[in-house]
Amino acid sequence: MEEINVNHRGTVVHESGAPKKIKVERGQRGGYGWEIEIKGSDDATMLKWIEDTDSELQRTYLTPDNQ
């Protein structure tokens, strides 16, 4: 998986050369939310990438230190 470097403030959008996009937002109450977008033709590969990316974002942003 590609590394995503963020500073935990505001909105972060990660775009790579591939048709993938991640948008991370921090709400007014300090909570985080994200959008994951991927385009392609192999459904199984795309779903796996989304699952892996979502898990990584949860580990990064939904830890007790960040809530």
Half-sphere CA count of 55, side-chain side, radius 13 A:
7
**pLDDT at residue 4 in the model:** 56
Whether the model pTM is above 0.85: no
Residue 24 CA, chain-centre distance (Å), reads: 6
**Domain limits of the chain?**
11-66
b/e sequence 4-27, b meaning 16+ C-beta within 10 Å = eebeeeeebebeeeeebebebebe
Give CA torsion, residues 45, 47, 51, 57, to 10 deg: 90
For 7-60, the pLDDT digits (tens) are 556 666 666 566 888 999 988 888 899 999 998 889 999 999 999 999 999 999
Nearest-angstrom CA–CA distance, 38 and 25: 18
